[in-house]
Amino acid sequence: MVQLYNLHPFGSQRVVPCKQEPAHFCCGQDVLFVASTAASCRVDVFTLREQGRCEALGSFATLGPVLRMAHSSAGDYLVTIEEKSKATFLRAYMNWRCMSAGSSRVCVRMVGHKMEESYSEALKEQMSVVEMPLSDPPLCISCCPVNGDLLVGCKNKLVIFCLKYRVINQNLTVLDFERSLILHIDNLIPVEVAFCARHIAITTELDVLILKLQLVQQSADRTEQCAQGVSAPEKAMDGGVKDESPSTHPSQLELDEFIICQKPVELLGEQSKLCEIPVILESTELPAEDTKHFQVQYLLFRHFAPDQSPFGFCEETKLHSVQLLPVYQTGIPATAYEETENKRKLLSLFCFFSLPHVGYLYSLGKLVELISTYQYSEKSEQAVLTPQFLHVITSQNLQCFTVRCSAAAARSEDPYIDTTVKACPPVTLDVCTLRMQLFIGPRAICHFKNHIILLTKADTEDITERRKPTRRMLSRKTDHIKSRTNSESEPGWNLYIINTVSTIQLYREMVEYSRTYENVKTESCIHLLSEAHLLIRAAIMDPHFLKSDEKEDLLRAFRESCAFLGDCYSRFDTKDYHLALPYYRMSGLSMTEVLKRLVSEGDEIQTYERGFIFYLTHSLNEDSNEELSKESGNKVLQILYLADPVQLPGILCSPSMRNICPLTAVKYLQKVEKMMPSVVLTLTKAFFALKMGDLAMYEHEMHSYKETTLACGFIGQPRLLQQRKDGIVTPTEFAVHLKETQPGLLVAATVALHENSKIELEEADTFFKMLCNSSENTIPQLLVDFWEALLVVSSQEKILRELLLRVTSQYVRRISKKQLPETKPLKTTEDLINSCSHFGLIVPWIASIMSVGCSSDKDYHEDISRLQSLLCSQSISIASALPVLEPLTEADSAGLAVRVLCNTRLGNYEEAIDQLLTRCPGAAVIYAQHELKGDTQALWWNKLLPELCKRTRLTGNDCPVLISSLKETLSIVAMELELRDFLSLLPEDGTAAFFLPHLLHCSQRKLLT
């Protein structure tokens, strides 16, 4: 569906001062090329100035009449197909600008011709014509706007010439071509071609084929040919009538009375391989290390059927105006075209082609899809696509349509579009006709920046004949076209330069026009404002935008258009009401400014649509630095109480509502509570009771639910405890009060928030440090309580590892620095052992070590026992904890116990025994009884007994602890070993009276068994 508006995209128009009738023309950079009719073999060059002023720049002769011509901005060359003596020639005109400087020197050379340095120096000040011979006559041409490569269409093949920059010397670089690739396509006669960024669009009278040349990574033989896309036509053109061999129809004359037509076909993406148009690639480049190899990817095939009526063809149906339009990434400026391939990043590519009464615009991205269809009011002659408009000429009109290129490209560039952050009008938005400008006899059109070049020919007889529909019968014998009268009999012609108005001017007109629909037709208002938004967006996506004089005006208009669209989706009852939020965000308007736009002053009750309510609730649920005034806050409260009372607790906790009157807030909460009570609502009432200083009300609300229920209630509204400012989590007054009165509830609530992904571990650290007024390097006890509580409930392996190291580090720091916690821990060691699997039972031999410690260790008993319990579990990795445990030394009992524990967990039992015998020999036997079992039992006689004997010998009777430990060890070893083995362990110089009882005990055990 195409909507029609009567806007004014066209401004002033001027006549190009041509002396002879134009046959063909094209634009390039800042110039207009005009090739005269057959009588004069020349190309006139005109420079295009501001306001459409056109001045003759010069002219140069051609070999013969120009049949086709095209200009390439990359390389700034003009390529033509010319005819002489019934032969066609392909020529490229390089350095043509020197002709305008008065130079008449021309150099004609063959493509690829090796130029001598002395000869080439003259190229600086003369025009160079490059002849490109072909085995078949060239039919159509196209230049790649990205890199300047040339595509030539011939019968059954396409030829690609790569633009080369040949460096002759330090001061001279010459443009040349190299024929690099031939695409052989059987049974195809191209009428038009388009070429851009290795994408090729080909049209015949009724067929469109779009291909892409893909780079192949692996090396291949340069003579290898790659065939692509062969399949059965029956599948692709199901139901069509196909020609059969003469043997099946002896009477061929019967077929001469009919035209055989196939059904229309559209094949997209991978399916387009079914078109049965095989493409064979032939590389013709000279072999080199950096030679590129390609394969063909099919993107689109479309076949159209001729328009028919019961009596014949209504009109001649032919495709025209095929075009590939590139859109570049925003913010990358256009630079010298020699560097464009490296400097400009192609974002999206679009293909347009047209039938006489309908045009088609496709997007060629990851998916190939039809994004717009254009229905013309009358038969079209030619069309030209730009990033902002589609200009179409008919027999009497120049029509201007909107396009969706910027909408599609924006989605390719920005992943946040179509979210709550950003929005853009949909690609599927109906296109519209902005203007149908009357002209007499439009014949041809081209476009350059904000100029349209239009050729008109006034011919009364032709116009009269066009108005009378003719019938072409279904007979091939009468299939001919009435020849036109020659140019001498034509009454007149004109070549116009039509200036399109500035983007800002047209945008303003569209906004003004939309106001006529504001209170009448909702969808039309949104549609026109969407068109205005896309118009501005397309201008911003232009590569020259960063250097544009209108840059600031365009950015301001973009924000304004977003605000207008936000107003529409807020005020109107539409299914896309949620778009109010992203459009207002892109507009840069504050919440206060939006309220002023939509909310009337006074106490009268207004009706607000879903879009506005959606915007308000989402904006207030975010952590914004904007604070609403008391009056605005009260108005928002009134609006949302009527629209969505469930949201009220969350809205009241918003940082933007800091200035709200607490008493007013409580009154609204009490009203909501009568309808739908909840723990979140109760906590919110308690929050505002604190703000009012009403402790009685606060106590009443906090005793309404159990503490566990209250802790879970904070999950529903985390901002009761913590709010974010500039990305930093800060505690609320409620959190400060809980710290003093119910620290256990505060810790439990924060644990619940963490486990429900409402707060990160690092954020919780900052929260508790700010709450306790601690410095960056100080760990408050409340934070340690949080870590210990989180260890009880967390199941995330990564979090557990981090927490275990954190609490270990904190215990070690306080023990080593003799620091006591500033507040009493919420749980004792026994509580942690009973509730958390990461705290294990403390082994008995540790108590034996601690019993001989200094009295100062008893002051830090809780931290010491927590650390020992943690190391006694199997949760913490001792290897990871060793650096953290480094501050603890063996000098005191706490450090010794930790060292022995670590060696035991690491399997270093002998080292642990040495540590105990050196520092606390009385605990050695108890340690051995608990740890030396099973595979380690042999250490009793291999390590402990020999060490005790040696140390006892050295100390004599001065260390009774060693003697008693030795006796106990001998008793245990005597029970485990055979008499002979036991005897071998005893020292030769030992006192017999000391060892004899143990020998007798060992021998008696043997006799008993």
DSSP 254-294: GGGG----PPPEEEEGGGGGGG---EEEEE-SPP-TT--EE
Percent of the chain beyond pLDDT 70? 85
What are the tens digits of pLDDT across the range 493-517? 889 999 999 999 999 999 999 988 8
Q: How confident is the model at residue 919 (pLDDT cuts 50, 70, 90)?
A: confident
Answer whether residue 956 shows pLDDT above 90: no
Strand partners, 809: none
pLDDT top residue among 883 and 546: 883
Q: What is the pLDDT of residue 457?
A: 87
Q: Identify residue 871 by its one-letter amino acid code.
A: L
How far is the C-alpha of 364 from the C-alpha of 670, rounded, in Å? 58
Q: What is the pLDDT of residue 476?
A: 34
Looking at residue 442, what DSSP letter applies? E
Answer whether residue 309 shows pLDDT above 50: no
Nearest to 161 by CA among 175, 142, 181: 181
SS3 934: helix
Answer whether residue 628 shows pLDDT above 60: yes
Q: What is the pLDDT of residue 484?
A: 38
Work out the burial of residue 934: count CB atoms within 10 Å of its CB; fewer than 13 is exposed, 13-18 middle, 19 or more buried.
exposed
Answer whether residue 626 shows pLDDT above 80: yes
SS3 109: strand
Q: How confident is the model at residue 475 (pLDDT cuts 50, 70, 90)?
A: very low
Q: What is the pLDDT of residue 973?
A: 80
Mean pLDDT value of segment 466-475 = 40
DSSP 57-104: EEEEE-SS-EEEEEEETTTTEEEEEEEETTEEEEEEEESTHHHHTT--
What are the tens digits of pLDDT across the range 843-892? 999 988 888 765 555 667 889 999 999 999 989 999 999 999 999 887 78
DSSP 20-41: S-EEEEEEETTEEEEEE-TT--
Mean pLDDT value of segment 156-179 = 87
Percent of the chain beyond pLDDT 90? 52
Q: What is the pLDDT of residue 463?
A: 45
Mean pLDDT value of segment 913-920 = 88
Mean pLDDT value of segment 311-337 = 70
What are the tens digits of pLDDT across the range 416-470? 999 999 999 999 999 999 989 888 889 999 998 888 999 998 765 554 444 444 4
Q: What is the pLDDT of residue 260?
A: 58
How far is the C-alpha of 520 from the C-alpha of 523, rounded, in Å? 9
352's torsion region: left (phi>0), alpha (psi -120 to 50) or beta?
Answer: beta
CB 572 within 8 A of CB 521: no
Predicted TM-score (pTM) of this structure: 0.81
Answer whether residue 594 shows pLDDT above 80: yes
For the ranges 238-247, 601-610, 886-895, 912-921, the lowest mean pLDDT is seen at 238-247
Answer whether residue 162 shows pLDDT above 90: yes
Q: How confident is the model at residue 542 (pLDDT cuts 50, 70, 90)?
A: confident
Q: What is the pLDDT of residue 470?
A: 40
Q: What is the pLDDT of residue 407?
A: 94
User: For the chain, what is the mean pLDDT?
Assistant: 84
How far is the C-alpha of 120 from the C-alpha of 114, rounded, in Å? 10
Mean pLDDT value of segment 713-740 = 91
How far is the C-alpha of 605 from the C-alpha of 619, rounded, in Å? 22
Nearest to 806 by CA among 828, 829, 834, 838: 838
Q: What is the pLDDT of residue 465?
A: 47
Answer whether residue 230 shows pLDDT above 50: no
What are the tens digits of pLDDT across the range 521-539? 678 899 999 999 999 999 9
How far is the C-alpha of 914 from the C-alpha of 886, rounded, in Å? 19
For the ranges 467-476, 744-753, 761-770, 895-904, the lowest mean pLDDT is seen at 467-476
Q: What is the pLDDT of residue 858?
A: 62
Q: What is the pLDDT of residue 120?
A: 60
Whole-angstrom CA distances from 202 to 80, 116, 168, 207, 729 are 18, 38, 36, 8, 60
What are the tens digits of pLDDT across the range 890-905? 778 888 999 999 999 9
Whole-angstrom CA distances from 486 to 481, 489, 551 are 15, 6, 49
Q: What is the pLDDT of residue 232?
A: 35
pLDDT top residue among 690 and 520: 690
What are the tens digits of pLDDT across the range 56-104? 888 888 988 999 999 999 989 999 999 988 899 999 998 888 876 566 7
DSSP 805-823: HHHHHHHHHHHHTT---SS
Q: How confident is the model at residue 220 (pLDDT cuts 50, 70, 90)?
A: very low
Answer whether residue 308 shows pLDDT above 90: no
Q: How far apart are the first and last CA of the chain?
A: 106
Instruction: Count CB-CB contacts under 10 A for residue 521.
Output: 12
Answer whether residue 106 shows pLDDT above 80: yes
Q: What is the pLDDT of residue 854?
A: 59
Answer whether residue 336 shows pLDDT above 70: no
